[in-house]
Amino acid sequence: MSVPVSILTGGTGVLGQSVTAALLAAGGVVAIPYAVPEEARALDARLTPEQRARVLALPADVTDEPSFGAFVRTVGERHGPVDGLVNAVGGFAGGDLVSTSLAEWERVMKLNLTSAVIACRAVLPGMIAARRGRVVNIASRAVVPPQGGFIAYTVSKAAVITLTQALAQEVKSHGITVNAVLPSTMDTPANRRAMPDADRAGWVSTESVASVVAFLLSDRGSAVTGSAVTV
């Protein structure tokens, strides 16, 4: 097989950078749509010259179908067919149903769920034509079972799990796998700031999550589909 090409949304974030490192270590090409130039520059600064040649980072809006579609076409023109998709972009919001404004509800749904739908719609036609592909959606262990107190986040990430399971059934006859990875609390700078007094013994590293993502994208993960893998 030629060098695998993966699109990674949220690739400039903390988890995304770990996933990028894991995919590069496996010899792949990683295409990253970004919204924050400073984050893209920070990612670029961590890359070696050889790695930089295998990373394509371009500004694109993952919640806008025309913008993301143009990004996917550019990836295809520069690196060939897309073999893998990781939907790692997302956002969090606290609050119960009554206190959460409709605008905030829609923002969280757009970031966590609609972005994954748009990305899948953009890459699946090419995967179906090639009769192979890997899709990995990042959900959350915190929403299994569903939790209150951050209901927009809970519902959106639970919907990502349902999307994963339904989509896996739709595309399994085309040689495409679709799985979800459900991290528990990750050890990130943002979580350390938000929970300074928490016991971090049970937190997971972003590298651990990235290794599971990389496995599911690989040929070794070809027998796994429709799964919600907790980390």
What topology does CATH give the domain 5-230?
A: Rossmann fold (3.40.50)
Contacts of 151 (CB under 8 A, 6+ apart): 95, 96, 97, 100
3-state helix, strand, coil in the chain (%, to 5): 50, 15, 30
Which secondary structure element, helix H or strand E, spans residue 71, and what is its range? Answer: helix 65-79
pLDDT confidence of 1, banded at 50, 70, 90?
A: very low
Q: Are 204 and 181 in contact (CB under 8 A)?
A: no
Distance CA 123, CA 120 (A): 5
Q: Give the pair of three-digit tokens for residue 87.
A: 């939907």
* Residues 194-206, mean pLDDT to the nearest whole number: 78
Task: Please give the mean pLDDT across all residues of the chain.
Answer: 93
Question: Burial level of 90, CB count in 10 A (0-12/13-18/19+)?
Answer: buried
| pLDDT score of 163 more than 50 | yes
Average pLDDT of the segment spanning 211-222:
96
Task: Examine the residue annotation and report whether 34 is marked as an active-site residue of this protein.
Answer: no
What are 180's strand-pairing partners? 137, 228
CA distance 69 to 62: 9
- What residues does each domain of the chain span? 5-230
Query: Which position among 153, 155, 164, 177 bears the catalytic label?
Result: 153
Structure confidence at residue 33 (pLDDT): 98
80/226 Cα distance (integer angstroms):
26
pTM above 0.85, yes or no: yes
